[in-house]
């Protein structure tokens, strides 16, 4: 590989399958790869529409403000929805919208303009009952002013799901740094006890899930009792039913450690996703 002297630019190389060093595409040099400096939205495109479209856009906007990334030139979510419909018709899709800070620099950014990468996959049915779950004692969700945001730095959830896989479990439940229940390894957490629904508050470092917000609003509109707060392991294990929520829908937890829970369908909850 021939290289030339350079001033201020970065040369990217990587080993080829044969072991020789070769040039890597310049697009790989970005602040998303360097620092996880950005956010992402995971969305479902169903029947020609992005589910919870406005809530996704609102959460992304708030997160960009939190990270001081400009949304001035950001793609319109309406335009993205239109593109998906034109290209894929009504096919169900899973769409990941990465938005990260432009430029390079080191920890101090060169600018605050947004750059985007959109990943599109065929949507597949999600698991509706998870038979085994546990509460991690090793991995906790760190607290920060942006802990409720879906940042590209998702190492906490990567490591939690590695641990879950090693333990042969279907789901892992995480606590915050103060030992309160926070969320699951891939979704927000709810439980029901005596007709009241409970979910950890955002002060417990859980992600401000789009489905979480939609469900809270839906339950309140129906006049159903809902409590957000700081809850302990004992609070969770005293529940009648436990389930997780994300944009794919809900999944009931059948067993957490040695406690078994009812997994029958909760119609008022599932109606939100139909």
pLDDT at 64 over 70: yes
Contacts for 75 with CB less than 8 Å, ≥ 6 apart: 116, 118
User: Do residues 73 and 207 share a domain?
Assistant: no
Measured torsion, CA atoms of residues 66, 67, 68, 73, in degrees rounded to the nearest 10: -100
User: Do residues 97 and 175 share a domain?
Assistant: no
Q: What is the CATH number of the domain that holds 225?
A: 3.20.10.10
> In this structure, is residue 152 part of a structural domain?
yes
Averaged pLDDT of the chain: 94
Q: What angle do CA 119, 64, 87 make, to 5 degrees?
A: 25
33-45 tens-digit pLDDT: 999 999 999 999 9
113-138 tens-digit pLDDT: 999 999 999 999 889 999 999 999 99
What is the tally of structural domains in the chain?
2
User: Do residues 103 and 171 share a domain?
Assistant: no
pTM over 0.95: no
* CA dihedral sign, ordered 15, 29, 145, 80: negative
139-157 tens-digit pLDDT: 999 999 999 999 999 999 9
User: Do residues 249 and 211 share a domain?
Assistant: yes
Q: What angle do CA 55, 241, 245 make, to 5 degrees?
A: 20
Q: Which domain holds residue 147?
A: 129-273
156-185 tens-digit pLDDT: 999 999 999 999 999 999 999 999 999 999
> In this structure, is residue 197 part of a structural domain?
yes
Residue 269 sits at φ, ψ, to 5 deg, of -80, -50
For position 6, what pLDDT does the model report?
54
Helices vs strands, H then E, count in the chain: 7, 17
């Amino acid at each position: 590989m021939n290289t030339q002297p350079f001033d201020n630019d970065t040369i990217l190389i990587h080993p080829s399958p044969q072991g020789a060093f070769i040039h890597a595409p310049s697009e790989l040099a970005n602040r998303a790869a360097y620092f996880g400096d950005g956010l992402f939205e995971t969305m479902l495109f169903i029947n020609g529409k992005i589910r919870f479209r406005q809530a996704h856009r609102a959460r992304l906007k708030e997160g960009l403000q939190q990270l001081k990334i400009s949304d001035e030139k950001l793609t319109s979510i309406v335009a993205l929805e239109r593109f998906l419909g034109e290209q894929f018709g009504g096919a169900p899709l899973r769409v990941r919208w990465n938005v990260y800070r432009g430029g390079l620099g080191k920890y101090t950014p060169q600018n605050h303009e947004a750059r985007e990468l959109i990943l599109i996959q065929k949507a597949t049915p999600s698991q509706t009952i998870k038979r085994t779950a546990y509460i991690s004692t090793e991995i906790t969700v760190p607290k920060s002013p942006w802990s409720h945001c879906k940042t590209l730095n998702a190492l906490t959830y990567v490591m939690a799901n590695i641990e879950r896989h090693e333990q042969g479990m279907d789901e892992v439940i995480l606590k915050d740094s103060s030992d309160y229940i926070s969320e699951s390894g891939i979704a927000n957490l709810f439980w029901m006890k005596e007709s009241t629904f409970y979910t950890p508050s955002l002060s417990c470092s859980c992600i401000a899930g789009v489905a979480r917000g939609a469900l809270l609003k839906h339950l309140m509109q129906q006049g159903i009792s809902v409590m957000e707060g700081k809850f302990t392991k004992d609070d969770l294990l005293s529940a009648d039913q436990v389930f997780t929520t994300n944009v794919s829908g809900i999944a009931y937890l059948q067993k957490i450690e040695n406690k078994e829970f009812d997994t029958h369908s909760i119609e008022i909850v599932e109606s939100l996703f139909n």
